[in-house]
A and B are shown apart, each in its own frame.
Chain A
Amino acid sequence: MKPNNQNNQSPRWAYFLILTTILLSILFVMPNFYGESPAIQIMPIKSGEKIDTELLQSIEAALEKSEIENTGLILENFNIKVKFKTAEEQLKAKSLVQNALGDQYVVALNLISNSPNWLSDIGPLPMYLGLDLRGGVHFLMQVDLSKALEKTTASYLSEFRSKLRKEKVGYYDATKNKDIMQIKFKSKQDLKRGKNIIRDINNNFDFKEIFVNDEIILKVIVSAKTKKSITEFAIKQNLETLNNRVNELGVAEPLIQQQGLDRIVIQLPGVQDTAKAKEILGRTATLEMRMVNEENFNKDVFREGNEDQIPVNSEILPDRFGTGILVKKEVILTGERITNASPGVDGQTGQSIVSISLDGQGASIFKQVTRDNVGKRMALLLIEKNSTEIVTAPVIQAEIGGGRVQITGMRNAQEATDIALLLRAGSLAAPMEIIEERTVGPSMGKENISRGIKSTIWGFLAIIVMMAAYYMAFGVISVITLSVNLLFLVALLSAIQATLTLPGLAAIALTLGMAIDANVLINERIRDEIRNGNTPQASISNGYKMAWGTILDSNITTMIAGLALFMFGSGPIKGFAVVHVLGILTSMYSAIFVSRAIVNYIYGNRRKISKLSIGEIFKVDNN
């Protein structure tokens, strides 16, 4: 290192490395210049179903018939994409194709890269724009896990009851308070048997026996381990359900992710009908089938002050007309057993209905219950966030096998469609609430992009003028370095597909302003060396060497701030931090490595340099 210190020549591999990184960067940056076209994406409702050329042709025909010009149809394994010139054509095409294909297909709005085929085949993509730049909705949802726990406990309790009854164990009361179940037995012998039966069902409960006032009580407590697995399962199911629902909404590149212990982030780029999105995502509709309590059905119960007459195993719930019906608490079937649901119209009455199909277990339970309860009424309950409603409570005419059930009592066709969608997409294991919403309209996204780009370009141009005027040739070298830095940064952002937001664009601009610091430090150091009477070659060499330590220190401290932003930041801060941190890395590489190579290339091979073009240097009298 020491002998060739004064020798301003970069090794060959350095030039090779720089050229390679620049060429690679150009390749990765290119897709950004081709831009993206508005497009629609057609997928079958049932995921995994193949798509063929026949479908492609029918889409093409439908578009041609309405004279909507497309700029390309792409057939992929599981979807078809159609590109358009304008967003208006895209919107028109969306509703047209949706109507033409029917509700077996989802048509979503999307953006497709305009890169030529050879480029997309290699793989680089344009920068991934955040919601504030492309428009869309961001939701943060809080999952109420305690409700999931209660729900699971309720279903355990119902399982215990039927098992205890089947095994003829003497018990007379089984209730629950949140996630603690309490069963009162007739004798200690019964308690012992009951406990064993419960253990056989699931071995993850803690037990507590209480004997007071002649009562023999067994408390069944859900263990901490089980609680954890219940809540984990609940989140998992919610994610799956949300995925299904979002698929039905028709969003091209949705993001649905767990955040922390009990939260879910949803990002829907390009969604314009936020009201619909919110309704579909936020709805917690689940279906329950329970028997109407006919034995204790007594009108007097509904009078005020008579609440104590309601049997413990039952509760009063309102039907669609607001009349209360006494139904049993025991749940026969829940929405989880539903495999498919579709809206329809009853042939005889003309009423809107929802037809549902049950899975094997559901079908057999339903068959048995209908056989045992002919002539009695069964209630179908729709449970939303804070309300439970009896949709319909028909009398069971005969045993129903095969697992196909029709739900009547829908208010209108729209409701039938919505409920069918919700039942089909699966129920949520735990209710959720939107606790953060960020919506950006499509026009706003475009405005933000142009604002960010304008800020960067004008800032950049001003820096070019200043640097060239002040440092002459070395200023131009600095500017070239800075351009290369910008190239690296954009290439890196495209390559790792980091989300670019408006603060991210601001960070690009700011990084340019700050990256120039390294060049300024180097140039000032070289001037210093010349001022001290060193030869030009020695000045260059020493200048870079002396500046290096300072550049490292100042960049590392900036990096510390950037990393903190990334770790603790969310949303806009994170977007800023990613670009900021990457910008520090690329600027260090380009300021030290690239600019040195350029300087060496220009000056390194000359034997004699009388003067460096680094601007006028004022000599100081030190004495």
Chain B
Amino acid sequence: MEIFRVKKDIPFMKYSKISAVISTATFIFAIFIIIIKGLNLGVDFTGGTMMEVSYPEAANIEKIRETLKETGLEDSQVQNFGTEEDVLIRLPIRENLSIAELSEKVSIALKSSDSSMEVKRVESVGSQVGDELYENGALAVLFVCIGIMLYLTMRFEWRFAIAAIVANMHDVIIILGFFAFFQWEFNLTVLAAVLAVLGYSVNESVVVFDRVRENFRKMRKAKVSDVINNAITRTMSRTIMTHLSTQTVVISMLIFGGEILHNFALALTIGILFGIYSSIMVGCPMAMWLGTNQTNLAIAKPESKKDNIEL
């Protein structure tokens, strides 16, 4: 069985101008959405309290709201979480009540109104911790970008490094755009997924770039765009198989992973799908336009050329 029975190389680079317009448009649209709607940040970043409680039967949301209102917590958000029995309560930070006291107050109030209630999970984050987690998250993204660029500059050359990072950032912005558009909650676990996508999606670019470099050595007289087209076409089968495998696992996570892993898996799904697109239709044209060619790759890495001759 072979999925891709392509006789000739697919002329991907012919469409690079159209794809550039599409990519730029989606990129700008995503940024626009992020600015307009903003991310629905979880308590990890904003500070505040999130409680998951569960009842043996379908929970009475109205009654819970009423109970909390009587306790003086009218600014709490109450909603079902995953199932009818599970309820998620969110409370903002309060000046006069410590986060430890707040969650206790809620659980006492709910327990006294319905003793079958069970607290499944509490996440309370003070404002200073939230700010720090936010800062550390941003630092991590920055660190990953710089690290990957340095490595790619070393192993390939700076044009590939920039192309890979642009493709990568494209994926990250699209993920954030989706989260902003649908107002899915963005918490620490989702941030972990975004950073995993950063590492994962750059994989894709590396595999294609590796082929491009190899082709430059073999196809000495070919046009740059032909070299790239051939590299993409030849790695196509691998691209599909790898992403299919990863996506299978992520789908399994979406189905069985429960609410906590749900947004994590969503972020990965978007990252994987757009990762394929961006490494082919963002990364490659980018490298081409930046002027990647036979000479600068050969100069950048003479010793790997020697390897090649040995074969």
Contact = CB atoms under 8 A, between A and B. Distances in A.
Q: Does A associate with B in a complex? A: yes
Interface of A: 2, 132, 139-140, 142, 274-275, 278, 282, 433-441, 443-444, 447-448, 451-452, 454-456, 458-460, 462-463, 466-467, 469-470, 502-503, 506, 509-510, 512-514, 516-517, 520-521, 524, 527-528, 542, 545-546, 549-550, 553-554, 556-565, 567-573, 576-577, 580, 615-618, 620-621
Interface stretch (B27-35, B144-152, B175-183): B144-152
B298 interface: no
A506 B144 contact: no
A463 B188 contact: no
B58 interface: no
Interface string B212-230: 0010000000000000000
Given A452-B261, A458-B256, 6 more contacts: A142-B128, A459-B253, A561-B195, A570-B136, A573-B189, A573-B195
Given A278-B100, A444-B121, A542 B311 contact: yes
Nearest to B261: A506
B119 A564 contact: no
B1 A620 contact: no
B258 A447 contact: yes
A451 B234 CA distance: 38
12 contacts: A437-B123, A454-B252, A506-B253, A549-B304, A557-B152, A561-B144, A561-B198, A561-B199, A564-B147, A567-B140, A618-B4, A618-B5
Contacts of A467: 245
A462 B252 contact: yes
Contacts of A558: 199-200, 202-203
Contact of A561 (B2, B7, B103, B196): B196
Nearest to A521: B238
Interface residues of B, number: 80
A618 B236 CA distance: 13
Interface in B45-89: 52
Chain B interface SS verdict (over half): helix
Contact of B264 (A454, A506, A557): A506
Contacts of B144: 560-561, 564
Contact of B196 (A510, A549, A567, A571): A510
Interface in B240-282: 241-242, 244-253, 255-258, 260-261, 264-265, 268
Nearest to A447: B258
A515 to B, nearest CB: 9
A146 B214 CA distance: 63
Given A448-B258, A455-B261, A567-B143, A553 B248 contact: no
A616 B1 contact: yes
Given A510-B249, A550-B206, A553-B210, A433 B98 contact: yes
Given A513-B249, A580-B196, A557 B151 contact: yes
Contacts of B214: 546
Contact of A435 (B129, B195, B235, B244): B129
Given A448-B258, A550-B206, A557 B188 contact: no
A15 B169 CA distance: 43
B100 A437 contact: yes
Contact of B195 (A438, A470, A564): A564
A484 B149 CA distance: 32
A132 B257 CA distance: 14
Given A278-B104, A451-B256, A510 B250 contact: yes
Contacts of B261: 451-452, 455, 502-503, 506
A502 B258 CA distance: 11
B196 A443 contact: no
A524 B155 CA distance: 22
A470 B4 CA distance: 12
B41 to A, nearest CB: 15
B139 interface: yes
A615 B238 CA distance: 14
Nearest to B5: A618
A436 B120 contact: no
Contact of B206 (A509, A554, A561): A554
Contacts of A553: 155, 206, 210
B249 A463 contact: yes
Interface in B93-130: 98-100, 103-104, 107-108, 118-126, 128-129
A436 B199 contact: no
A565 B195 contact: yes
A452 B264 CA distance: 13
A557 B249 contact: no
A143 to B, nearest CB: 13
Given A439-B121, A553-B155, A571-B188, A452 B257 contact: yes
B24 interface: no
Nearest to B155: A553
Interface string B282-311: 000000000000000000000010000011
Contacts of A441: 118-121
Contacts of A278: 100, 104
A65 B261 CA distance: 46
A334 B260 CA distance: 48
Contact of B246 (A506, A514, A568, A569): A514
Nearest to A452: B257
Contacts of A433: 98, 126
A36 B235 CA distance: 46
Given A463-B248, A520-B238, A561-B148, A550 B121 contact: no
B2 A455 contact: no
Nearest to B191: A573
A577 B196 CA distance: 9
Q: 4 tightest A-B contacts by CB?
A: A561-B199, A459-B249, A435-B126, A513-B249
Given A437-B124, A506-B264, A567-B140, A572 B98 contact: no
B6 interface: yes
A483 to B, nearest CB: 14
B161 to A, nearest CB: 11
B244 A556 contact: no
Given A434-B99, A455-B253, A510-B250, A520 B140 contact: no
A459 B252 contact: yes
A452 to B, nearest CB: 7
A448 B262 CA distance: 12
B172 to A, nearest CB: 11
A454 B140 contact: no
Contacts of B140: 564-565, 567-569, 573
Contacts of A546: 214
Given A470-B1, A567-B143, A462 B103 contact: no
Contacts of A617: 2
B137 interface: yes
B189 A517 contact: no
Please indicate which of the listed interface residues A275, A444, A546, A563 has the most CB atoms of chain B within 10 Å of its own CB: A444
A619 B133 CA distance: 53
Contacts of A572: 188-189, 192
A540 to B, nearest CB: 14
Contacts of A506: 253, 257, 261, 264-265
B199 A560 contact: yes
A503 B242 contact: no
B207 interface: yes
A514 B1 contact: no
B40 to A, nearest CB: 18
A59 B108 CA distance: 35
B196 A454 contact: no
A617 B251 CA distance: 29
Contacts of A443: 118, 120
Given A274-B104, A448-B258, A459-B253, A513 B246 contact: yes
